Amino acid sequence: MRKNEKIDSVRVSRAGHTFHERWAARRALQLVFPKDDLFAVAVEGLSPSENFYLGQEAEEIADLVLYYGKGDTFETCTSQQILQFKYKYDAAPVTSSYLKKTLKKFAATLRELRRSTANEEIVAKLSFGFVTNAAFSADLWNAISCLKFGKAPESGGAETQAQFLATWCKEEEVSAEDIFRLIEFRASTSDLPAQDRSLRRTVSDWSAESAGRAATRLLALTKLLREKAE
């Protein structure tokens, strides 16, 4: 039984890394054919050009950082989003505990940035993103909405979820209202096969010569992202 559990944990870990790589690769392709003003991406950490020290929590939470505008630092970009990916082998609905570690690190990052930057600039530039294949329970979605917009919970379950989330923010000396208005939650995102199909289709569209050339370019792109993460 223990052997099976070990195999499962390795499989889940690999799937999580692949989920991250595929999502990051699709976003990185937009540097070539942009749909917005994306300027730079940093993988597994902040840009090496970053001037501000945002703390160890920021480095740990930054699976992918998107810089928009004309710079690859918080100071020079027009906006910056720090993304955390979380893959769940069983994508069944989750509750607030699924967000605890990530939320506390987002809050710690905001707390650290406030030491050197005016809150007005932070609100204008900074956002966080939480991307997962797992679904959120109805109570969790309602709790998030309440903390974002100051609404009353619609159920006892949602109220309990909101209390947990607010407590974890308070432990990092940040109010739930301040941090939640900066976070974009993306739950129930495409599973790995769907991510693969989408990425392969995009690369294939740009590789009219042959399917083999498209596959080679896809491998090269994911290899590049993996190397940048090391």
Model pLDDT for residues 65-110, shown as the tens digit of each residue: 999 998 999 999 999 999 998 888 887 899 999 999 999 999 999 9
Q: Kindly tell me if the per-residue pLDDT of 206 is higher than 70.
A: no
Q: Kindly tell me if the per-residue pLDDT of 52 is higher than 80.
A: no
Q: Kindly tell me if the per-residue pLDDT of 196 is higher than 60.
A: no
Burial 93-109 (b: 16+ CB within 10 A, else e): ebebebbeebbbbbbbb
Greater confidence (223 vs 49) lies with 49
Average pLDDT, integer, range 114-121: 93
Strand partners, 94: 136
Question: Hey, which of 13-22, 38-47, 176-185 has the most confident mean pLDDT?
Answer: 176-185
Q: Kindly tell me if the per-residue pLDDT of 160 is higher than 50.
A: yes
pLDDT at 108: 95
Collapsed DSSP state (helix, strand, coil) of residue 38: strand
pLDDT tier for residue 194 given thresholds of 50, 70 and 90 = low
pLDDT tier for residue 51 given thresholds of 50, 70 and 90 = confident
Judge contact between 96 and 55, C-beta under 8 A.
Answer: no
Greater confidence (84 vs 9) lies with 84
**Mean pLDDT across the chain:** 80
pLDDT at 155: 95
Q: How far are the Cα atoms of 22, 25, 214, 230 from residue 226, in angstroms, in the given order? A: 11, 10, 18, 7
Q: Kindly tell me if the per-residue pLDDT of 190 is higher than 50.
A: yes
Cα 97 versus chain centre, distance: 17
Q: Tell me how far apart the alpha carbons of residues 43 and 28 are, in angstroms, rounded to a whole number.
A: 10
| Strand ranges (E), 93-182 | 126-132
Surface-to-core class of residue 182, CB atoms within 10 Å of its CB (0-12 exposed, 13-18 middle, 19+ buried)? buried
Q: Tell me how far apart the alpha carbons of residues 101 and 99 are, in angstroms, rounded to a whole number.
A: 6
Surface-to-core class of residue 152, CB atoms within 10 Å of its CB (0-12 exposed, 13-18 middle, 19+ buried)? exposed
Q: Tell me how far apart the alpha carbons of residues 133 and 92 are, in angstroms, rounded to a whole number.
A: 9
Question: pTM above the 0.75 mark?
Answer: yes
Judge contact between 128 and 106, C-beta under 8 A.
Answer: yes
Judge contact between 40 and 67, C-beta under 8 A.
Answer: yes
Q: Tell me how far apart the alpha carbons of residues 191 and 197 are, in angstroms, rounded to a whole number.
A: 10
